[in-house]
Amino acid sequence: MWLPLSFFLLGSAWAVTSPVASAPDDDYHLASIWCAQGDKDQACADTGLDPRKFVIAAGAVNSAFCFATKPDVTGDCTFSEVNSTEMILTDRVNNIQQLYPGGYYSVMSVFVGTDIEKSIYLMRLFSVFMVSALMAVLIRVVPNGIRQATLIAIAVTFIPLGMFLVASTNPSGWAISGTLFFFAFGLALLYRRSWRQPGTWLTAMALCVSALMAMSSRVDSAAFLSMTAVAVFALAGGRRIIGHVPASVLLVMLAVAGAVTYFMVTPIQASGELGTSEQTSNLLLTNLVEFPYLVQGIVGGWPLGWNDTPLPSFISVIGLLVIGAIAYVGLSHLWVNKVVALTVTFIAFIGFPLVFMQTQGIAVGEVVQSRYLLPLFAVFIAVVMIPARVKKPIEIQRAPAIVIMLGLWISSSLAIWTNAHRYSSAAADSSNGVNNLFSADIVWSYGPPLFLTITVAVLVGGVFVAGVLSGSASRENKITR
């Protein structure tokens, strides 16, 4: 249980190092959470006006505007906003615009209370808890090879962008984790021997929860379920699919539900409205060669928050080197089914955004962000590390495993330090930044002192990445002379 516990503590540290509304488009997401249950006293009310608007608690909408895209403004500016009793008009809410499926908002609305800050931090911690709980189930019931592949995918693709999103009130956190766990539990279910075993039912339940998380959070992650199911079937092979009809039917049903969700919730009605480029072959070729920009953004090259918290270049460089090392190890173990699954996930990973950008006239760097691609990228890395025999993981030689572990640990520690630094008083006084960051008082109401938070994050981050890599580290280093 050290792995899910350390992940929960690390995610909790991320949750309290950012003020209210620090995730991208949180004015929309928080307003949608506050109105997910319709009219609610002191939270949300439908005005009945035309065009339609809602009256929403100001603190759930305005908190981000005092610091978003203003890196020299600290998180303490949210104090007056979250304590305001004012209600304001807005149409930036999912009840009107219907840009997202809505299930995520409905679940999080359970935590809406009169204390806005407390409500939001409870939502963040619940999201981290959900991922940690699924990780605990994964470790308990999934074959060792699938388990290790999934854990490695989490370690190398969630740091740092995924960790920030999981510990936020942005639906992308559920989209990323739900899609990856759907792959892991779906493949594991096809390897269960009997439905009379409690582990089989637990795997099936975890599969359904993962699918619901993905399809209720974002429309693109709902579509990703279908592509992920194809990769699962490709890895399992025809004999296993036919021999496990109930599991196969359940996977198909969930994949179809994801596809239906995607086509029912269509936020973009007209082509070419989002971008500024002409939809020519030049745009396609340019986006193809610039696509690695989005990949490096996943591992630290894309700013956190409202794209106003750039991370040190060290993090993205280490992230890319780790991805390369993992790819080298995983691609050394290929067979026909795995090649097919890799092809499917790779084409989906680059094809889905390229087609979307082409039809909308979008160039790389506009509109499409790295976080949109993270769900499929995590699945791709998991497929890379799937072994031929699922009971035994692909081994990584001890020395490279230690180097990877140290790189991820340093990146994790540096990323959360940078995120906390941006919102602490250090952001406004760079000359005294380090001293201010480790002061005893945090600049928003909830959370322990930053010194304690960062210390815990550094320690449990080391425990998590060490635990993940130790499960695949070879006990022998083979040296050829």
Measured CA to CA, the distance from residue 120 to residue 180 in angstroms comes to: 25
Residue 308 placed within a domain: yes
Q: How confident is the model at residue 270, as a pLDDT?
A: 42
Q: How confident is the model at residue 191, as a pLDDT?
A: 92
Q: Are residues 244 and 388 in the same domain?
A: yes
Q: Are residues 205 and 97 in the same domain?
A: no
Q: How confident is the model at residue 446, as a pLDDT?
A: 64
Would you say the C-alpha torsion 94, 96, 101, 102 has a positive or negative sign?
A: positive
Encode burial over 8-29: b for 16+ CB neighbours within 10 A, e otherwise. bbbbbbbbbbbbbbbbbbbbbb
Q: Which two tokens stand for residue 236?
A: 């399992």
Q: Are residues 227 and 102 in the same domain?
A: no
Write down which residue in 118, 141, 170 finishes a domain.
118
Q: How confident is the model at residue 410, as a pLDDT?
A: 96
Q: How confident is the model at residue 109, as a pLDDT?
A: 94
Nearest residue to 116 (alpha-carbon basis) of 90, 158, 83: 83
Nearest residue to 55 (alpha-carbon basis) of 20, 95, 24: 95
Q: Are residues 245 and 309 in the same domain?
A: yes
Domain interval for residue 242: 2-16+119-470
Residue 367 placed within a domain: yes
Write down which residue in 118, 145, 163 finishes a domain.
118
Residue 477 placed within a domain: no
Total tally of structural domains belonging to the chain: 2
Residue 179 placed within a domain: yes
Write down which residue in 118, 143, 160 finishes a domain.
118
Q: Are residues 271 and 354 in the same domain?
A: yes
Q: How confident is the model at residue 445, as a pLDDT?
A: 59
Residues 6+ apart with CB under 8 A from 426: 432, 433, 434, 435, 436, 437
Q: Are residues 407 and 277 in the same domain?
A: yes
Q: What is the pLDDT along the chain (481 residues), one digit of tens a residue?
A: 889 999 999 999 999 988 889 999 999 999 999 999 888 888 899 888 878 889 998 888 888 888 888 888 888 788 778 877 788 898 999 989 889 998 999 999 999 988 888 999 999 999 999 999 999 999 999 999 999 999 999 999 999 999 999 999 999 999 999 999 999 999 999 998 888 889 999 999 999 999 999 999 999 998 999 999 999 999 999 899 998 999 999 999 999 999 999 888 765 544 445 677 778 889 999 999 999 999 999 999 999 999 989 999 999 999 999 999 999 999 999 999 999 999 999 999 999 999 989 988 899 888 899 999 999 999 999 999 999 998 899 999 999 999 999 999 999 999 999 998 888 865 445 445 455 555 545 555 566 778 888 899 999 999 999 999 988 877 665 544 4
Q: Are residues 314 and 268 in the same domain?
A: yes
